[in-house]
Chains A and B, each alone.
Chain A
């Protein structure tokens, strides 16, 4: 299946700072999904993006799907300690192929 590359692999921020993770593919994606995995937990679905250039917001989280549908980003404004975890993107029509994830840690 199509691979998705996520950067950065790790990100440490001060509480209140913003955070962004990127998901990139060399080929056009049919959709992109984002999941959050708390330390020791399982992935929890956040959102699905399907349309070119789509932007969706969930409170302090903003998700974007690139115009060419080859990349996506997740931006968190003013991080809080509850945002700690690994954010993973995934894509696929029949079954999802997951990226490696970006692990976010926060200094309170």
Chain B
């Protein structure tokens, strides 16, 4: 297992277009997280999954954002009708939790850098 993979690495899109990002977590990890990061800021929580169930979604996430994790494996994050304010690095992370305890920290992917023009 080579870690958390994200695709694509970079995405440039025109305002109003839809985009979809993919994340493949570490196979043994049962939790998957999506974060967004802008320059000079720490990662900002978007949503997370325990296996295939989406357990929490940030209030910052508008209705234009949707995430799925079918079969509890890879996950997709879709942004509809993109806006310039959506430009950011979208980070995916996975972790292993046993009995409510994080075994280790998060393993992050390299991220997808979205630029909306």
Interface flag for B64 (CB, 8 Å): no
Cβ of A100 under 8 Å from chain B: yes
Do the beta carbons of A42 and B109 come within 8 Å of each other? yes
Point out the residues of chain A lying under 8 angstroms from B109, CB to CB.
42
Chain B residues near A96 (CB, 8 Å)? 33, 45, 106
Q: Which residues of A contact B25 (CB under 8 A)?
A: none
Q: Are A97 and B45 in contact (CB under 8 A)?
A: yes
Interface assignment of A19: CB less than 8 Å from any CB of chain B: no
The number of residues on chain A lying at the interface, defined by a beta carbon within 8 Å of a beta carbon of chain B, is 25
Do the beta carbons of B105 and A48 come within 8 Å of each other?
yes
How many whole Å from A64's CB to the nearest CB in chain B? 17
Please, which residues of chain A bring their CB within 8 A of the CB of B105?
Answer: 33, 35, 45-48
- Considering only CB atoms and an 8 Å cut-off, how many residues of chain B contact the other chain? 23
Contacting residues, chain A, for B42 (C-beta < 8 A): 6, 88, 90, 98-101
| Bound Cα distance from A1 to B109, whole angstroms | 23
Contact A43–B104 (Cβ < 8 Å): no
Asked if A44 lies at the interface with its beta carbon under 8 angstroms from chain B, I say yes
A-B contact sample (16 more), CB < 8 A, given A44-B108, A94-B48: A1-B45, A33-B105, A35-B106, A42-B109, A42-B110, A43-B43, A43-B91, A45-B105, A47-B105, A88-B43, A90-B42, A95-B45, A95-B56, A96-B33, A98-B43, A99-B42
**What is the interface of chain A, defined by CB distance below 8 A to chain B?**
1, 6, 31, 33, 35, 41-48, 88, 90, 93-101, 103
Ranked 6 nearest A-B pairs via Cβ: A45-B105, A98-B42, A42-B108, A98-B43, A101-B42, A95-B48
